Structure 1
Amino acid sequence: MTIKHVIFTSQQSACERAAWSNWSVISITDINFADAPLQHGWQDVLRLKFDDISEINHDGYVRMGELQARAVIEFVQRMNEDKRCEGILVHCWAGVSRSAAVAKWISERYRLSFPKDYAYANQHVYMLLREESLLI
């Protein structure tokens, strides 16, 4: 089985959701926040910490870096090769920008559906994933 679904949502919604044993999670939290208290039972979880910024010069904030982008790419590739993983849930605090960017990249990479006119995905995250996926 290859990945057939990707969804993005808020941290609150992800944490309230009962785990799906055949789905994995990409959990994105702000740099100074605790890890999201996800329910036990997900197939696998990748935890990342970076802030929802695109510009490099925001004092005290950290944007997604190349190593984190590679971690996402490698995690998704591994889940796609795992015959048990049916989908990936991606969450960030609001479920609007960072998680949408990751979900958009996954959707394009694996030819999955994504809201056609969605305009709120973090462009830095999305473009970094696209660039790094060409290098791996």
Structure 2
Amino acid sequence: MTSIRQSKKVALTRVLFVSQRRAESMQGRPTAAIISITDPGQVRAELKSGWGATLRVAFHDSDPITFPFANQDLTPMKEVQGLQIAQFIEAIPQTVRSLVVHCRSGISRSAAIAKAIAEAHGLAFDPSYFEFNRHVYAITKAHLRPVA
């Protein structure tokens, strides 16, 4: 007899992206998870306790897809970080319904990750929003498994 291991279904109903300042002011809830993005070498965001799950990653807001020769001294998102994000999403407790993604300004990196996750989960994301980091979006999307 063979058994098929089924992955648990992630029950997200909402994904939003915010600035670091806004994320630091939010009270964590067991029904919400957070992905915290900071620049390498900078102080981590001071998140309040109570989040259902937390992932911290560090990379610069560098987009070698759109600007291949700009900011070559910065550290762009790496494939392994896209994999970390995908594994985090797969592992969050089923009681988590909301996901908050933050970066310093809440415009580019966090939006890219929020967009990729929203699309993979069939959730709303403003189709007119184009400020997201294309590099971060592509890496994140490549590692996410669409939810049926």
Using the size of structure 1 for normalisation, the TM-score is 0.91
- Residue segments in structure 2 that go unaligned for 5+ positions in a row: 1-9
State the alpha-carbon separation in 2 of the partners of residues 65 and 52 from structure 1: 12
Q: Looking at CA atoms only, which structure, 1 or 2, has the larger radius of gyration?
A: 2
Separation (CA, whole Å) in 2 of partners of 1:109 and 1:103: 10
- Residue 64 (1) aligns with residue 73 (2): no
Pick from 15, 36, 42: which aligns with 2:24? 15
Partner of 2:56: 47
Matched, 1:76 2:89: yes
Q: Which residue of 2 aligns with 1:115?
A: 126
Asked if the contact 1:31–1:61 (Cα under 8 Å) also holds between the matched residues in 2, the reply is no
- Which consecutive aligned stretches of 4+ in structure 1 deviate over 6 angstroms post-superposition? none
Q: What's the CA shift for 1:132?
A: 3.0
Deviations along 1:88-113, whole A, 9 cap, x unmatched? 10000000000000000010000000
Q: Which runs of 5+ in 1 are unaligned?
A: none
Among 104, 126, 145, the alignment partner of 1:93 is 104
Query: Alignment partner of 2:30: what SS?
Result: coil
Q: Identity over the aligned pairs, expressed in percent?
A: 32
Q: Higher helix proportion, which one?
A: 1
**What TM-score results when the alignment is normalised by the length of structure 2?**
0.84
State the alpha-carbon separation in 1 of the partners of residues 41 and 90 from structure 2.
Answer: 28
Q: How many residues align?
A: 132
In structure 2, the partner of 1:24 is 33
- Code of the residue aligned with 1:61 in structure 2: it is L
